[in-house]
Amino acid sequence: MKKITLAIIALATCASSAFSQVTTTVTAPPSSNASTQVRAPNGNATHKFVRGCFIVPQSDCQGFLMTNSVVTNWGLRLLQGTSAQAVTGSFTLYIQNTADATYLKGTNFPAAIVGMPVAYVGNMTVPVAAGAATITLPLIPNFTYAGQGIYVAYAWDSNGPFDANYATYDANHLMTIGGATADASVTPAPTTLTNTNFRPVFLWTCANTATNELALENVVAPGKVAKLFNSPHIITATVRNLSNVALNSVSVGLAVTGANTMANSQVISSIPAGGTQTVGFTPFNPLNLGLNNMVVSLLPDQNPANNSASWTQSVTCDVQAQNPSAGSYTSGVGTTATGCIVNRFTVPVGATLTAVRLAIASGASSTGSTIAAVLLDGAGALIGYSSNTITISGSMLNTFQTFNFSPGLILSSGTNFHVGFAQLQGGHFPMGFTPGTSFIPSGYYYCPLAGGTLQGLGYGYFGIEPVFQFDNMVITASATKTVVCKGSPQNVTLSVTGADTYVWSAGLGTGSTVTITPSANGASTATQVSVIGSYTTGAASGCKSNQSAITFTLLACSGLANNSANDAVKLYPNPTASGKTNVTGLVGENTILVYNTLGQVVHSQITTNETATIDISAYPAGNYLVKITDSSRESRIIKIVNQN
């Protein structure tokens, strides 16, 4: 599992490529926001010797290196260097073009470098650096890229002096086997390597001879759209000019297919050499549930491999999210202490935030971590935590878990808020993360558990998916009565409002009003019917509410009156205590009348509580009758002794 601290994520916001009119420096393989301390020289005495061999397949080079590019310098990108001591060692670099798409060099280092041209022999120094740094080596002779894949191998030997800490390198961890490495602290240097999915990010500097070369770097749009917002959003794309001259009148096209369709094109008047331009397309308001496939494209140029970029979007009823519509959140991110990672959202129309779905990382070290959802306002002030917390178990790894806000929080139109993870204990990496090439405009931030200053994070996506409730998703069901006695069947009328069409459970029908006769054999019991509403017109089409349910209590009685078998309703104490007694076991609305021996009403009250207090302390001691009548006009009479 990839473990990333927040500091490293913040450093990863540096650009993946640097361009000028004369030279181009690119990364291949590109960073996946991973890091490594053991696949390249780290400056510690435990790594006196380092051997490694890695593949950079053609798919990692396309869009960065052009065929026949002459590479003059090669390097490594550090996320942080050594802490106190720069460490120098002898370094031999091997680079080879290859048609291989996967790593096939094996685990024997002497055999792996057979036939690989030597690109550099000399010293290499791991620098002291508290933050990002680079190591750059001149290639003699220069390396000419043939347009396929590349093998890179190196051998490092150092006699120190060494640093107490380890340098950390930017890395890519997305290939199942990206290479093989070995290290040793004592002679002899290792020859047997171990396969690894971690590859350091390599820097390639080459002469820029392109006169017509553009690259689409990304497409940015919400990964999930709640259609019930019924509000358009802007799809954007970033275009970079990799040419050594400015390019004018650049046409950029968008095609959306799938559940919803749209075609649009925009023209960028001019992009300087090495510059970028972000273009926004016509507002897009998808109302059909399903997947939208978005493709942005450029006209063919000197390197057509990087002339398109795509994004898939899911249209939902009530979930709005930045992260991809589908994906695996295998990487684990967290802090060495407690803290929050949140995503900024702005609601286009008023809605109620009821929950948030959070992706849990796949690493076993996440188990036992306790997390909750957190909600902050636009400035980072703490609003509150979810009503439930979760202690991560093995079955939750690489899944989404739902955290509820109860009651839901009403957000007004245009409100900025932040919602996401609250890591309630440190030392683990429970927050699911997946790499991405885009810096999200409504991005991700870190803050303490108590809220406060928001620290921006970099490329990639966390699985944070707010769930909203809309007025037109709420249906309300009611019944003429909810307590019925067995043996005296009664028709009950059920009504529902809030949608266009309805489906009742138990085959009761599809109307807004239906009739039911609750019945059951045996002792007192309860039964439930439910109804689901759906919408046939407008933005709500295809969205259904949570079901609304009504529970009926069936009592083993033929009515309350004089039913000694029915002990649900009781008077206590009897005789009264200082003229007072309690009626318990009431259901619904009940009328209570107290009669003296002359048949006169001396006390009356109406209650909807389960328990009611009767006070007849103002009346003489003696016998009285208490009559309790429910909303179904069924009564029970109980004798009581008033004792003042």
In the chain, domain spans: 23-207, 214-316, 331-470, 474-555, 570-642
Beta bridge partners of 23: 207
pLDDT of residue 545: 63
Sequence-distant (6+) residues with CB within 8 A of 476 are: 496, 497, 498, 548
pLDDT digits (tens, 9 = 90+) for 457-490: 766 788 999 999 887 667 888 887 666 655 555 6
Q: Which CATH architecture has domain 331-470?
A: Sandwich (2.60)
Lowest mean pLDDT among 72-76, 175-179, 346-350: 346-350
Q: 74 with 202: CB under 8 angstroms? A: yes
The pLDDT of residue 600: 86
Residues with Cβ within 8 Å of 17's Cβ and at least 6 positions away in sequence, in order, are 24, 25, 26, 27, 64, 240
Q: For residue range 126-140, what is the model confidence (pLDDT) as tens digits?
A: 999 998 899 999 999
pLDDT above 80: residue 445? yes
> In the prediction, which pLDDT does 6 show?
42
For 220-224, what is the mean pLDDT?
93
Neighbours of 187 (CB within 10 A): 8
Q: What is the pLDDT of residues 400-411, one digit of tens each?
A: 999 999 888 888
Look at the chain and count its residues. 644
Query: Which pLDDT score is estimated for 524?
Result: 52
Report the distance separating Cα 488 and Cα 496, nearest Å.
Answer: 26
Q: Tell me, what's the pLDDT at 549?
A: 80
Measured distance CA(181)–CA(195) in Å, rounded: 7
Which pLDDT score is estimated for 483? Answer: 63
**Segment 30-41, tens digit of pLDDT:** 888 788 999 999
Q: Which residue has the higher pLDDT, 231 or 524?
A: 231
Fold classified for 570-642: Immunoglobulin-like (2.60.40)
Task: Name the range with the highest mean pLDDT among 180-184, 431-435, 543-547, 596-600.
Answer: 180-184
> Quick one: average pLDDT of 96-100?
97
Q: Which of 282-286, 335-339, 443-447 has the lowest mean pLDDT?
A: 335-339
What mean pLDDT is reported for the chain?
86
CA distance 97 to 458: 32
Q: Work out the average pLDDT over 333-340.
A: 74
Residues 6+ apart with CB under 8 A from 233: 221, 222, 225, 283, 284, 285
| Whole-angstrom distance, CA of residue 288 vs CA of residue 434 | 27
pLDDT at 160 over 80: yes
Whether the per-residue pLDDT at 282 is higher than 70: the answer is yes
Q: Compute the distance between CA of residue 584 and CA of residue 572 in angstroms, rounded to an integer.
A: 8
Tokens matching residue 319: 């979930």
Q: Which helix (H) or strand (E) holds 294?
A: strand 290-298
What pTM was computed for the model?
A: 0.66
* pLDDT at position 515 over 80: yes
Question: Alpha-carbon distance 634 to 101, whole Å?
Answer: 82
Report d(CA 391, CA 366) in Å as an integer. Answer: 9
The pLDDT, as a whole number, for residue 54 is 98
pLDDT score, position 546: 62
Q: Is the confidence at residue 521, as pLDDT, over 80? A: no
214-316 classified as CATH 2.60.40.10: yes
For residue 632, pLDDT over 90 is answered with no
pLDDT at 261: 97
- Give pLDDT, residue 493: 85
Query: Which range among 198-202, 346-350, 484-488, 489-493 shows the weakest confidence by mean pLDDT?
Result: 484-488
Segment among 514-523, 541-550, 553-562, 581-590 with least mean pLDDT: 553-562
Sorting pLDDT into bands at 50, 70 and 90, what band is 219?
A: very high
**Residue 13 DSSP class:** T
The residue among 536 and 381 whose pLDDT is bigger is: 381
Give the mean pLDDT of 543-557: 67
Between the ranges 234-248, 468-482, 485-499, where is the mean pLDDT highest?
Answer: 234-248
Q: Using only the alpha carbons of the chain, give its radius of gyration.
A: 35
Most confident among 19-28, 74-83, 321-330, 531-540 (mean pLDDT): 74-83
CATH number of the domain at 474-555, out of 2.60.40, 3.40.50, 2.40.160, 1.20.120?
2.60.40
Q: What is the DSSP letter of 44?
A: B
pLDDT at 50 over 70: yes
Is pLDDT of 608 > 70? Answer: yes
Q: Among 106-115, 512-521, 540-549, which stretch is predicted with the lowest mean pLDDT?
A: 540-549
Q: How far is CA 482 from CA 210, 309, 632, in A?
A: 78, 58, 10
Q: Is 46 a residue whose pLDDT tops 50? A: yes
Segment 327-353 shows an average pLDDT of 82
Give the rounded percent of residues in the chain with a pLDDT score beyond 90: 51
Q: Would you state the pLDDT for residue 477? A: 85
Tokens linked to 584 = 């318990």
Which segment, 50-54, 225-229, 566-570, is predicted with the most confidence on average?
Answer: 50-54
Q: What is the pLDDT of residues 527-537, one digit of tens each?
A: 778 888 877 76
Asked if the model's pLDDT at residue 538 lies above 60, the reply is yes
> Where in 307-447 does DSSP place strands (E)?
308-316, 331-334, 339-346, 351-359, 370-377, 382-391, 400-411, 416-423, 431-434, 444-447
Q: Which tokens is 421 given?
A: 């993870």
Task: Taking residues 101-111, report their average pLDDT.
Answer: 97
Q: What is the pLDDT of residue 45?
A: 96
Q: Which residue has the tokens 């869009």?
A: 63
- The strand pairing partners of 491, in sequence order, are none
Confidence class of residue 275 from pLDDT cuts 50, 70 and 90?
confident
Higher pLDDT, 526 or 613: 613
In the predicted model, is pLDDT for residue 171 greater than 60?
yes
- Residue 14: predicted pLDDT: 35
Identical fold between 474-555 and 570-642: yes
How far is it, in rounded angstroms, from Cα 202 to Cα 36? Answer: 13
Q: Which amino acid is at 299?
A: L
Q: Determine what percent of the chain is predicted with pLDDT higher than 70.
A: 87
pLDDT tier at 302, thresholds 50, 70, 90: confident
Q: How far apart are CA 191 and CA 581, in angstroms?
A: 91
CB-neighbour burial class of residue 164 (10 A; exposed 0-12, middle 13-18, buried 19+): exposed
